[in-house]
Chain A
Amino acid sequence: MRFHQFILKNVFQRKARSALTMLGVGIAVMAVVALVGIADGFERSFRELYERRGVDLLVVRAGSSEHLSSSVPQQVGKQIRELPGVRAVSPGLMDVVSFEQANLTSVLLQGWTADSFLFDNLTILDGRRLRADDDAGVMLGTILARNLGKHAGESLEIANGRFEIVGIYESFNPLENGSAVMLISSLQSLMDRPNQVTGFQVVLDDVPDKKASIERVRTAINALHSPQGRPWGIAATPTRDYVRGTSQIRMAEAMAWMTSIIALIIGIVGVLNTMIMSVFERTREIGILRAIGWRKSRVVRLILYESLLLSIVGAVAGIASAVLLTYALTWWPMVNGLIRGDVAPSVMIQGFFIALAVGLLGGAYPAYRGAHLLPTEALRHE
């Protein structure tokens, strides 16, 4: 018999308790992986929006922690375009609207110029692309169109304005598939923000030392002034930093981790309870093992390995459930334009190691207690 077979027998001997502990750990890990996975997926989606298009810098109002409310004069774009090293600039205006009748409360509405390079990555599935004269036109992402039950050629009311759906597109990105795009001038008029944009997406020339180029252009953008000589008060940020600093993402991550920590504490208490009860029930057995010569370290290993085994099985079940749950959520109209259906492997690995930590922390005290039982007292235990 091998040592691990002995451990397996101990775990299988107490089937109901082991199953309940694994369930507890599984639920905790599922909560962690699903919540952190969704927050991480949100960040990845957001980052992908820019990185897949080769966007190097994002320019928004300096000091604006809420990027959606950033407001920059559209004319700044012309100055940015003229900077050396800049290949393309696309102004963008973003807002969030709701479609109460379809129970959709946070739909991203984007305003682009008709010639924006951002259209290049959209595949038109129905209808056509927006043209410069489509003042009352809008394009819907596939997910949004499905949720609204709309097709090209139909009309749609957005924020008390009536628009014609000129096309349905598919993007590489789920966030974009859950959003709508109209001309920036139309959105400015709809939201009463004339000549204002949320920010600019800036693509730089391909040069060998891209990092230095980004830094150089960034400094130049931050130093731009109005024709009156006043600084614009704008900040150019590399894509990754911009996404990471977005308040919605930071809040989603914080919420995910806070909820996860509560779930983890519950998991640790569950394992601790099971293992301490197990040690208590097996006091005499541990006494026998100590009496026949098992060292304290082996008793510690016995209890910790049992606790780890429960946690690992719980983790595998929890991770699998989280993956299924996250995928299932993409079919829920309320959120299916916001979350990705996949969970990043790094988040799964994180969940697995967290489960190991749960097993170790939950098993540590019972292991210590078990190892320090005096054989003579343990053997007298009824």
Chain B
Amino acid sequence: MNDTPLLRAERLGKVYPDGQVNALVEVTLSIRRGEYVALMGASGSGKSTLLNLLGALDRPTSGEVYFDNRPLSQIDDPDGFRSKKIGFVFQSFFLLPTLTALENVQIPMFEGSLTVRQRAAKAAELLDLVGMKDRAGHRPGQLSVGQRQRVAVARALANDPILLLADEPTGNLDSHSAAAVLDLFDHLHRDKGMTIVLVTHGQEVAERAERTVRLRDGRICADETRIAKAARQAAATS
């Protein structure tokens, strides 16, 4: 991990079109390259909104998100940018039901320059990485929920992103499957140096990350690294 910020949110605000909800208020946040960050908070605290803004899925009402010091609002092709730089994992997996695992993983690659054969080979490699090689020909309906989420992770990695954004990735999983997915995230972070930002309700899930950012009512109310937290807890008990 280095100290260069990969993502920087400056005074981010988001008001949804009905004008009733201030989903985010003046949120400023910096995430370093290779960092593993958990966004925590109660329902409606703004954590998914923040994740969507960081991933260029939505535009802020005010403020700016910088990716590698480049403001996202000035990127001409946000779809292409998202395709190349960011991988998404969703709580409900969102795999296409008519496609096999191998085909699902290839879907993001259509926007790239790989040949048909290269796409298939790369998808097989990624399924191998997430431990799903032997289920490559299965459709989502033939897989367990944990297996589906692993396929979704493989799909998120299809275009070699440098940032992985996960919205409640273990929200629909049993504890065993959740652990397997989080192990996978650990591996991607530790061994591949991937920057990961995940949204979660669960303390156990957040503890896997090296930094936890807590939101309440659209504002950051706590931002603490695992080391700082451990030091604080040690100081409190001594």
Contacts and interface: CB of A to CB of B under 8 A. Distances in A.
Contacts of B182: none
Interface residues of A, number: 23
A64 B36 CA distance: 89
B225 interface: no
Contact of A9 (B79, B94, B99, B111): B99
B108 A292 contact: yes
A331 interface: no
B96 A296 contact: no
Interface residues of B, number: 31
A304 B78 CA distance: 22
Interface string B156-197: 101100000000000000000000000000000000000000
B4 interface: no
A299 to B, nearest CB: 9
A291 B83 CA distance: 8
Contact of A1 (B52, B57, B80, B119): B119
Given A374-B58, A376-B57, A293 B79 contact: yes
B83 A293 contact: yes
A284 B95 CA distance: 11
Contacts of B156: 292
Contacts of B52: 376
Contacts of A294: 79, 83, 107-108, 110-111
B57 A291 contact: yes
Given A1-B116, A376-B52, A291 B98 contact: no
Contact of A290 (B77, B79, B103): B79
Given A291-B82, A293-B82, A375-B57, A3 B90 contact: no
Interface of A: 1-3, 6, 9-10, 13, 284-285, 288-296, 298, 374-376, 379
Interface of B: 52, 57-58, 77, 79-80, 82-84, 86-88, 90, 94, 96, 98-99, 102-103, 106-108, 110-111, 116, 119-120, 155-156, 158-159
Given A6-B99, A292-B83, 13 more contacts: A1-B102, A1-B103, A1-B106, A9-B98, A284-B94, A293-B80, A293-B84, A294-B110, A294-B111, A295-B79, A295-B111, A298-B111, A376-B52
The 4 closest A-B pairs by CB, nearest first: A293-B83, A295-B79, A288-B94, A292-B108
